[in-house]
Amino acid sequence: MEKQQTRRCSVSSVHSQGNLSIASAQCADTHTHAIIQKEKDKKIILVPLHSFINFGKVVKVHETATYKSDKDSRKTERGKVLLFGTEELCVDQLQVLQEDVINENQPPEKQHDSNPIETSSKKGSSSTTSNKSSNDRSNHQLQNKSKERCALNELSKPKHHSQINENYNRVNALPPMNINTASTIAILPKRKEKSVSEVQRKLFGDDTNMNSKHCYSFEEEGSDEIEEHLTTATATTTTKKSKKCLTEDSSLKQISNINYKRTTSNKKSPSIIPSSPIQNPVAVNHADNNQDNSTEQNKDETNDDTMDERGSFSFKEFKRLQKENINLRQQKTSLENQVNFMKKNYIPMPDINSRSWIVRLAKLFTQQLSANDIATHARHIGISNPKKLLNCIQNRGTHTAREIVRLICSQETLLTKSGKEGVSEEKRQAIRDFVELQHGPIPDHQFNEAIDGVFRQEKLKMRKAQAPAAKAIQKPVEKNQNSNRQQSIDAFYTKKSTLNIQEKDKEVAVVTTSDSDEHF
């Protein structure tokens, strides 16, 4: 499968695509996504192919395409197509690119050491001159980027390994590099002519193959992007380069990272390192194998081994984290799908007030609250006139309950009794039935507090009314009587229930004193 796919995306086919300006949809049947660098903020994102709105036109790699960021939105965005591929593949490459972005955050020494890159890029070009470059391969190149950096350092200048490594990273840290690398992914496969490699070999040897090839390709195509590279990149020269390619190589140092990386990764054995024309077929073979996952894994392992020998061991960890990242992304996607499904298909449970309102409304609609019901409830509660019961209905259940208690209990009862003594269990249940019919369920504590609160409030009001008179009489009274004031008042209430409130003011003092004495 993959081999067929890679064949389809082989250098020749890609080249023909580029020449014929074939839309991205024709890259591969399995290619469903594209990595795009947004024009607005240069961010690299993953865009499904169906999101392209210029799909009928030519959507080529490394060219600007218009797409919809949101399927339902009319808003369109533009960005440069870095590569096409399957979703999984693009996710992988996206992560690699993001990894590069992180590496770019190491700002210093950007312009340093263009040579290692150039030399490495030359090697990479030698491999790219083989017939095996394709989008998939370029993807693999991206995946192997970090690993190849180390290998590159080994291949280019083993003696100055650390130095080269540093320099290479610095060059990679160039901000526009992501664009360039991504674009070269598509560009480079198109430039696979034997003449290129041959000329390069003649001119610069194997090490310079890559650069010379790039020169050739650039001279051929002369795209705008290349011009950008030429203008932005710093002009660096190497002793191995030809004079023709000096200025272009300086730009290529950024563009061709992926290519030489791949080639260097392909060169597993140290025997490949020495520059000789024989290397090319070897590299080609490895490039072919790159299209197979299993072989790629093997290659990775070998690279890991070589890197382990050199003391670099981070690639394995990088790979592991990459896989882990992919898994987590998949989990996240599935969870998001679940959440979206639940958002669409489920209604959240409303709060208690809303539920009460809904219950009440439902009962109204179902005609449960008929006149007969009101009369029945009034009879159960002990109210002769149902209209009075209806007048008790307030905006809250507790308020309604209080009003009903005030209606059914006389002031004497409110002053002298409390709790279940004031309102029996049966009446409470009847009141509660009516209240819940009107306002929905009400907690036990709230309901009892509402009923008891009426008694409490009435007594408190009475006490406050008696307070001035009590204070005047309390002066001659001993202190210990003050402490028992509440009890005396309560006792007074029991005895004084038949007296008028106005008369109480006068007699309170006398009664309280006598009652307090009785208590003690």
Partner DNA sequence: CAGGCTATGTTACCCGACCT
Partner DNA sequence: AGGTCGGGTAACATAGCCTG
Q: Which residues would be at the binding site for DNA (CB under 7 A)? A: 394, 396, 398-399, 402-403, 418-421, 444-446, 448-450, 452-457, 459-461, 486
> Shortest gap between Cβ of 465 and DNA (angstroms)?
11
Residue 455, burial from CB neighbour count under 10 angstroms (0-12, 13-18, 19+): buried
Q: Which long-range contacts (CB under 8 A, 24 or more apart) does 272-278 make?
A: 272/155, 273/154, 273/155, 273/158, 275/205, 275/206, 275/207, 276/206, 277/201, 277/206
Contact status, residue 415 vs residue 493, Cβ threshold 8 Å: yes
Q: What is the smallest separation between the CB atom of 482 and DNA, expressed in angstroms?
A: 13
For DNA, give the closer residue by CB, 236 or 418: 418
Q: Are the beta carbons of 286 and 268 closer than 8 angstroms?
A: yes
Instruction: Please say which residue, 48 or 453, places its beta carbon nearer to DNA.
Output: 453
The order of strands in the sheet holding 64-68 is 44-48, 33-38, 76-85, 64-68
Residue closer to DNA (CB basis): 448 or 513: 448
Smaller CB separation from DNA, 98 or 353: 353
**Of residues 41 and 444, the one with the C-beta less far from DNA:** 444
Query: Torsion angle of alpha carbons 467, 472, 475, 481, nearest 10°?
Result: -30
Query: Smaller CB distance to DNA: residue 380 or 406?
Result: 406
User: C-beta of 510: minimal distance to DNA in Å?
Assistant: 21
CB of 343 to DNA, least distance (A): 31
C-alpha to C-alpha distance for 85 and 137, rounded to whole angstroms: 10
Element (H, E) at 128: helix 114-128
Using CA atoms, how far residue 30 sits from 9, 24, 503, in Å, is 11, 11, 99
> Which among 235, 188, 227, 228 is positioned nearest to 210, based on CA atoms?
188
Number of Cβ atoms within 10 Å of the Cβ of 130: 23
Give the span between the Cα atoms of 404 and 199, in whole angstroms.
105
**Which is nearer to DNA, 68 or 463 (by Cβ)?**
463
Least Å from the CB of residue 337 to DNA: 39
Q: How far is the CB of 456 from DNA (least distance, A)?
A: 6
Cα separation, 187 vs 191, whole angstroms:
7
Q: Other C-beta atoms within 10 Å of 74: how many? A: 6
| 333 or 486: CB nearest DNA | 486
Residue 78 or 461: the one with the smaller Cβ distance to DNA is 461
Smallest gap from Cβ 349 to DNA, in A, equals 20
Cβ nearer to DNA, comparing 174 with 381: 381
**Pairwise CA distance, residues 504 & 496, whole Å:** 8
Q: What's the min distance (Å) between Cβ of 362 and DNA?
A: 22
Q: Scan for tokens 């392909």, then name that residue.
A: 266
Closest approach of Cβ 474 to DNA, in Å? 17
Residues in the chain: 520
Find the shortest distance in angstroms from Cβ 354 to DNA: 15
- In Å, how far are 21, 279, 353, 359 from 431, measured between CA atoms? 82, 97, 19, 18
